[in-house]
């Protein structure tokens, strides 16, 4: 399987780099980056995600803690907590774990986080900077992680036809923004394909780099992939599986088994994009701390 993009290995290298940055910060200014997770309610997936992120932070030397709030927390109470974290100089990164309960407007919450502490990259200022080619902001972790996978796997993006499947705010749209920029490791011809697109298979077959972020189990079939294309699978979908202990298993947006033989390079899933999201979160947190002392 020589065409596999090993997300775990690349994520470890990024963690090592972040760890080195954290050590430099400690040496230079006795500063330890501080990251606070805010979790509302007891969604099991959110608990698991935050747990993994906390563990990794501690391994890297980032001070992290999680504020767990009751499911019934009001939007105003949450805004108050964010305001306190914004003004706390020991806190360099704030991550409010989505999804939030339906009585809380995520847009209001994400916009309330100080853009300089918005290590998730969801604040409009950071989205705008990304779009404008202004590198002083924070990039959302998953598309930034895909970008690092491409760069560190030696994939040429300049002039490449990229098809991004999906136009969500967390992956699809920022992914397109990153790769269309006039910049090194970008300069791609990007097409964003989504639920309203016609000729989806035909568009995908044109792609030199196909990034699947629809959230639809095994949506991308072998006949939608040009032989030799680079295929990145961002999807995490639950499908029923009575043979599994939990009654389901997680699969990607890409029919890996049938596409791996014809792809130029491909991410496994799990073990591809997933570890990169956490790696970029740690990177963003160290960056936020570095900028705080600059």
Residues at the interface with a second copy (CB under 8 A): 107, 123-129, 131-134, 137, 158-159, 161, 167, 169, 173-174, 176-177, 180-182, 187-199, 203
Question: In the bound complex, what is the minimum distance in angstroms from residue 289's beta carbon to a second copy?
Answer: 22
Question: In the bound complex, what is the minimum distance in angstroms from residue 178's beta carbon to a second copy?
Answer: 12
Write the DSSP string, 163-220. Answer: EEE---TTTHHHHHHHHHSSSTT---EEEEE-TT-SSHHHHHHH-SEEEE-S--TT-B
Question: In the bound complex, what is the minimum distance in angstroms from residue 251's beta carbon to a second copy?
Answer: 24
Question: In the bound complex, what is the minimum distance in angstroms from residue 33's beta carbon to a second copy?
Answer: 24
| 240, 246 contact by CB (below 8 A) | no
Spatial separation of the C-alpha atoms in residues 37 and 278, rounded to whole Å: 13
Catalytic residues, which ones? Answer: 53, 97, 120
Q: Can you list the positions of beta strands (E) in the chain?
A: 34-40, 63-69, 93-96, 161-165, 189-193, 209-212, 230-233, 237-240, 248-251, 265-266
Spatial separation of the C-alpha atoms in residues 33 and 99, rounded to whole Å: 25
Spatial separation of the C-alpha atoms in residues 10 and 205, rounded to whole Å: 27
Of 4 and 125, the one with the shorter C-beta distance to a second copy is 125
Of 128 and 261, the one with the shorter C-beta distance to a second copy is 128
Residue among 48, 91, 230 nearest 156 (CA): 230
Of 208 and 233, the one with the shorter C-beta distance to a second copy is 208
Helix (H/G/I), strand (E/B), else coil: 235: coil
Spatial separation of the C-alpha atoms in residues 287 and 283, rounded to whole Å: 6
Question: In the bound complex, what is the minimum distance in angstroms from residue 41's beta carbon to a second copy?
Answer: 24
Residue among 221, 228, 181 nearest 207 (CA): 228
């Amino acid at each position: 399987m020589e065409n596999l993009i090993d997300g775990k290995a690349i994520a470890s290298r990024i963690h090592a780099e972040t760890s080195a940055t954290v050590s430099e910060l400690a040496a230079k200014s006795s500063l330890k980056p501080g990251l606070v997770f805010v979790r509302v309610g007891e969604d099991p997936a959110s608990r698991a995600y935050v747990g993994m992120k906390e563990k990794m932070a501690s391994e890297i030397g980032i001070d992290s803690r999680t504020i767990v709030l009751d499911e019934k927390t009001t939007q105003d109470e949450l805004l108050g907590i964010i305001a306190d974290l914004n003004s706390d100089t020991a806190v360099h990164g704030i991550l409010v774990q989505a999804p939030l309960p339906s009585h809380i407007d995520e847009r209001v919450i994400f916009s309330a986080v100080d853009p300089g502490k918005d290590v998730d990259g969801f604040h409009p200022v950071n989205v705008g900077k990304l779009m404008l080619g202004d590198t002083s902001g924070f990039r959302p972790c998953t598309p930034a992680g895909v970008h690092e996978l491409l760069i560190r796997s030696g994939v040429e993006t300049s002039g490449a036809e990229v098809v991004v499947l999906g136009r969500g705010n967390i992956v699809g749209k920022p992914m397109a923004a990153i790769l269309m920029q006039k910049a090194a490791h970008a300069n791609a011809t990007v097409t964003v394909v989504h639920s309203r697109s016609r000729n989806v298979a035909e568009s995908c077959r044109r792609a030199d780099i196909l990034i699947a972020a629809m959230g639809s189990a095994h949506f991308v079939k072998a006949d939608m992939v040009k032989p030799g294309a680079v295929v990145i699978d961002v999807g995490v979908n639950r499908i029923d599986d009575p043979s599994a202990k939990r009654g389901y298993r997680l699969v990607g947006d890409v029919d890996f088994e049938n596409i791996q033989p014809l792809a130029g390079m491909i991410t496994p899933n799990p073990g591809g994009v997933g570890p990169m999201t956490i790696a970029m979160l740690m990177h963003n947190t160290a960056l936020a701390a570095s900028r705080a002392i600059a």
